Amino acid sequence: MVATPPTEEERQHATEVAVRELLLGRYPHADGGLSVYAEQLAGDGVLRGLLGPREAQRLWSRHIANCAVLEELIPHGAQLVDIGSGAGLPGIPLALVRPDLRISLVEPLLRRATFLADVVSALDLADRVSVVRGRAEEQESLQADVVTARAVAPMERLAGWTLPLVRRGGILLAVKGDAAAAELSEAGSVLERLGGGEAVVVTCGVGIVDPPTTVIRVVRVHTGRRPSAR
């Protein structure tokens, strides 16, 4: 008797289970929080339009684990600002796997900011995670050791919103895809003008997510200057 090959849905489910087990095996202390967060994304996150219904079938592999492994690049005890946080990615997974971090989730849209506030409250993170409703370029008072962004804008434009918030010696971590190297090349002059120093494409999450998470990492070496408003 010939075995019936698994359907695409069955393969995706198996991937989700495997990635979840790998992630929680590395961060067992975050098991409860990450599981609750996944339920919130699949429930209210979809109902409020923060994620598409199909994304609920790949929350762990495409979103939660993909973001949580970014912690490999973040120094201990850092103050972190997550720009365009949306549904809390990568800020919420980072807060759950790294209880040493202090995080500000910056989000301009009210419905998203409201969802983030509900998540922070439900996960009992309010002592070290805050929600800031506003645009990144309006947050000059926020100075962080690390600034993160995922699926916000091309690097050339993203740099102008994020690097001014990075302290001298701090880092910008922009989660990107296959075009990371090309984006970095195009943004070179902008990064230099804004005080960016070493800028490289790195990966993290090997052994948990496949493919590993691709990140543009930029060190800020001096204050530079913010681009002119248009």
- Residue 73 is part of which domain span? 65-220
Is 173 inside a domain boundary? yes
pLDDT digits (tens, 9 = 90+) for 52-110: 888 888 999 999 999 999 999 999 999 999 999 999 999 999 999 999 999 999 999 99
E strand spans, 9-165: 79-83, 102-107, 129-133, 144-150
Is 114 inside a domain boundary? yes
The CATH number assigned to the domain holding 166 equals 3.40.50.150
Q: pLDDT-based confidence at 11, cuts 50/70/90?
A: confident
Is 132 inside a domain boundary? yes
pLDDT, average across residues 200-217: 96
Contact 74, 97 (CB under 8 A): no
Is 22 inside a domain boundary? no
Is 15 inside a domain boundary? no
Is 110 inside a domain boundary? yes
Is 44 inside a domain boundary? no
Please state the pTM of the whole predicted model: 0.92
pLDDT, average across residues 1-5: 66
Is 167 inside a domain boundary? yes
pLDDT value for 70: 98
First-to-last alpha carbon distance for the chain, in angstroms, is 68
Overall domain count for the chain: 1
